[in-house]
Amino acid sequence: MQEIDEETEKKQILNKYRTLLRSATEKLTKEEKKFIRKAFNLALDAHDGVRRKSGEPYIFHPLEVAQIVAKEMGLGATSIAAALMHDVVEDSDYTLEDIERLFGEKVTKIIDGLTKISGVFDQNVSLQAENFRKMLLTLSDDVRVILIKIADRLHNMRTMDSMPNHKQLKIASETLYLYAPLSHRLGLYAIKTELEDLGLRYTEPEVFRDITLKLNESRAGEIKYLKKFSANIKEELTKEGFDFEIKERTKSIFSIRKKILNQGISFDEVYDKFAMRIIVDTPVDREKSDCWKIYSIVTDFYRPNPDRLRDWISTPKSNGYESLHTTVMGPEGHWVEVQIRSKRMDELAEKGYAAHWKYKENSNGENTLDEWINKIRELLENPESNALDFIDEFKLNLFSDEIFVFTPQGDLKNLPKGATPLDFAFEIHTQVGTNCLGAKVNGKLVPLSYKLKSGDQVEILTSDKQKPKEDWLNYVVTARARSKVKTALKEEKKKIAEDGKEILERKLKHIKITLNEQVVNELVNFFGVKTSLDLFYRVGNGQIDNNRIKDYAKERAGGIYTYIKSKFKRQRNIKDTPKASTKKGDVLVFGDDEQRLDYKLSKCCNPIPDDDVFGFLTVSDGIKVHRTDCPNAISLQSKYAYRTLKANWISSEDIHFVAILTIKGIDTVGLVNNVTQIISNNLNVDIRSINISGDDGVFEGDILVVVRDKAHLTTVIEKIKKVDGVTSVERRYKN
């Protein structure tokens, strides 16, 4: 066991504290320094003798969190003191009353908020969702609660090396699922980027290492290129008298990975890995004109791509982001992204809403934050909103690319990309959305599923007779609209069900059957519905008519009802999910003690032996097995960590699996025959189905093959790739 050098540790603690004071962006007064010192002393006492998993003194953690709050968020003495004491009430004998007596109401309120939300990702799911609501409600009291929580998570992510792998995966999944998008929504771009990169480092370590190595290899050449690219621009900006700074910016590892996946390209085909940022120090009243003047200078030297101009100066994003982005053709035919912004805009972009304390005269950002908080409160306070659904609905709009559309009166509304006239209608008013009959975009009638574009002018047509329909849920993308439509549909269903219950009671009475609990249960089973509400609803809307009720009465009277009941029960329990064969024992074992349990393979990612997988305990369908890189993995591991099981493959020669191969190439005579010959004859692999089509000399299609495991599948893919004319073979997962 390593001996602890207490003197060295004391010096390290003191050095960290002094660094913290120097990091405060605003000059601290004597009183503020005393205030921070008092908070530091209390935290030091509260965490005395406590150590982190890494073995270092626990006080290092609150000191580092306070450092992030001071330096990277630019917050003042109140936030620094609260960050130093953020774990005190939860982890020691100090109470909120002690904090209030020593530090006042403001700091106490922040620490109370932090203590309440410390269990946001508890093992109890319903608590998790409810605590998440509470966390967001604290935004309306003091946004610093969330900012300090994000700083706390950032430091935890930076220091996860000493944790076991399963905890690293859980915390990293939570971070990618919630904390990174939340940081983005609050305008904390630098922190959001670091959280995403760290999240990727632990969820997909091999991908992270690969991109990091490639970036490092190309960095020197790219930076040299950007220096050459900016030489003329620097000279001209200096000549024009601008006070400016030019930074070379590297695209984050996470965003490079995202681009590779979304666009189906290689690392070398990501052309904007490096970009240039021009930051001009200029008064607020000249920001816009100076940025456009710099844009003019840049485009005098290099030809711009008109499709890649982004003007977030005239219309800032809803989280306060302001900048002018353009992509120009540089020397040697390379595209270069250039970002142009003022010093104030840059600070707001890096530190988000935290920086608005410094720019109080600019109230636009505060107003946008208030609007965002009000939208969250509206969702939270909706009594019909399911607590678990809420997290997904909230995340739906946490941050998405935005569009800006106009009302007929010229008022500007911002909506997520992909929004429809229905979203716009509910954005105007709940009643306008509920009674929406149709829409005109730029004076022309469009369907309610029409995808709005920036600059559209939208007019909503309403009718008092119109009510929300089930298919509206396919057209709306905003959480507000989705929530309102669901609530309206539930209300309508309840009304129809009430009428249906009366109709059913009357019809049964006519054939001498009394509607009681037993009869309701029999009817639910007979008609194969889930609940009594579904039963009454179907009677109310005519799906279950008089003849079908008479069929039930005949079967009941005939004494074979028990058989019918069990038949329907069996039918409802039959699932379409492929189940693992158990000829010679299960293919997978679960948990540390390697138990053999029944399981099913999830359709979303089609795992096969040798894939890295985990088990997920569903409510109604037993254990479902997912690949660790499944599109749903991060969400499941983040929201329901306590329901995930470690899973390992064991050998089994009798198990076979279906895999889908997408094949592309040059259409030549006999090519399909050559491919099928290799698969069937040479490799003795069964082909379930084949669907290949050609067009203008090229072909593309899917082949479903039955393989033993991943190694077998790899052999099949490599053999097909060698066929003349085949350009690519990839395994595809079902959508």
Q: What is the dihedral of CA 121, 125, 127, 130, to 10 degrees?
A: 90
Q: Clarify whether residues 100 and 62 are in a common domain.
A: yes
Question: Domain end: 649, 666, 686, which one?
Answer: 649
Identify the active-site residue in 9, 56, 91, 610. Answer: 91
Q: Is 262 helix (H, G, I), strand (E, B) or coil?
A: helix
pLDDT of residue 562: 45
Q: Clarify whether residues 263 and 380 are in a common domain.
A: no
Q: Which residues pair with 339 in a beta bridge?
A: 277, 325
Residue 179 lies in a domain: no
Residue 137 has pLDDT above 70, yes or no: no
pLDDT of residue 375: 60
Residues in the chain, how many?
735
Residue 107 zone, left/alpha/beta (φ > 0; ψ -120 to 50; rest): alpha
Residue 258 has pLDDT above 90, yes or no: no
pLDDT of residue 295: 95
pLDDT of residue 63: 94
pLDDT of residue 414: 78
Residue 181 lies in a domain: no
pLDDT of residue 577: 39
Residue 400 has pLDDT above 60, yes or no: no
Residue 90: active-site member = yes
Q: Clarify whether residues 287 and 242 are in a common domain.
A: yes
Residue 591 has pLDDT above 80, yes or no: no
How much is the average pLDDT of 686-707?
A: 77
Give 101 or 373, the one with higher predicted confidence.
Answer: 101
Q: Clarify whether residues 214 and 342 are in a common domain.
A: yes
Q: What is the dihedral of CA 200, 201, 207, 213, to 10 degrees?
A: 130
Range in 162-171, 305-314, 326-335, 691-700 with the lowest mean pLDDT:
691-700
Q: Is 516 helix (H, G, I), strand (E, B) or coil?
A: coil
Phi–psi pair at 614, nearest 5 degrees: -145, 155
Residue 177 lies in a domain: no
Q: Tens digit of pLDDT for each residue in 451-484?
A: 998 778 899 998 888 888 888 988 898 888 888 8
Residue 188 lies in a domain: no
Residue 732: pLDDT band with limits 50, 70, 90: confident
pLDDT of residue 130: 52
How much is the average pLDDT of 639-648?
A: 79
Q: Clarify whether residues 559 and 673 are in a common domain.
A: no
Q: Tens digit of pLDDT for each residue in 26-74?
A: 677 888 889 999 999 999 999 988 888 878 899 999 999 999 988 888 7
Q: Clarify whether residues 672 and 565 are in a common domain.
A: no
Question: Domain end: 611, 630, 649, which one?
Answer: 649
Range in 80-94, 336-350, 364-378, 516-530 with the lowest mean pLDDT:
364-378
What's the chain's average pLDDT? Answer: 79
Q: Clarify whether residues 632 and 673 are in a common domain.
A: no
Q: What is the layout of strands, in order, in the sheet containing 698-707? A: 686-695, 698-707, 657-666, 726-732
Q: Which two tokens stand for residue 598?
A: 């029944």
Residue 210: active-site member = no
Q: Clarify whether residues 553 and 594 are in a common domain.
A: no
Domain that holds residue 717: 657-732
Residue 496 lies in a domain: yes
Q: Report the half-sphere exposure of 269 (CA within 13 A, side-chain side).
A: 10
Question: Domain end: 95, 126, 159, which one?
Answer: 159
Q: Report the half-sphere exposure of 68 (CA within 13 A, side-chain side).
A: 25
Q: Clarify whether residues 10 and 149 are in a common domain.
A: yes
Residue 190 lies in a domain: no
Residue 242: pLDDT band with limits 50, 70, 90: very high
pLDDT of residue 287: 93
**Using an 8 Å Cβ cutoff, are 355 and 111 in contact?**
no
Q: Tens digit of pLDDT for each residue in 377-399?
A: 565 555 555 544 555 555 555 54
Q: Which residues pair with 702 in a beta bridge?
A: 662, 691
Q: How many domains does the chain have?
A: 6
How much is the average pLDDT of 538-546?
A: 84
Residue 364 has pLDDT above 50, yes or no: no
Q: How wide is the angle at C-alpha 454 spanned by C-alphas 427 and 345, nearest 5°?
A: 95
How much is the average pLDDT of 546-563?
A: 68
Phi–psi pair at 268, nearest 5 degrees: -65, -20
Residue 67 lies in a domain: yes
**Using an 8 Å Cβ cutoff, are 116 and 133 in contact?**
no
Q: Tens digit of pLDDT for each residue in 306-328?
A: 888 889 998 887 667 889 999 88
**Using an 8 Å Cβ cutoff, are 260 and 266 in contact?**
yes
Q: Which residues contact 334 (CB under 8 A, 6 or more apart)?
A: 225, 271
How much is the average pLDDT of 639-659?
A: 72
Q: How far apart are CA 380 and CA 386, in angstroms?
A: 10
Identify the active-site residue in 5, 45, 90, 594. Answer: 90
Q: What is the pTM of this model?
A: 0.58
Q: Clarify whether residues 412 and 352 are in a common domain.
A: no
Residue 716 lies in a domain: yes
pLDDT of residue 635: 80
Q: Which percentage of the chain shows pLDDT scores above 70?
A: 80
Q: Clarify whether residues 256 and 335 are in a common domain.
A: yes
How much is the average pLDDT of 350-355?
A: 63
Q: Clarify whether residues 328 and 220 are in a common domain.
A: yes
pLDDT of residue 592: 66
**Using an 8 Å Cβ cutoff, are 692 and 672 in contact?**
yes
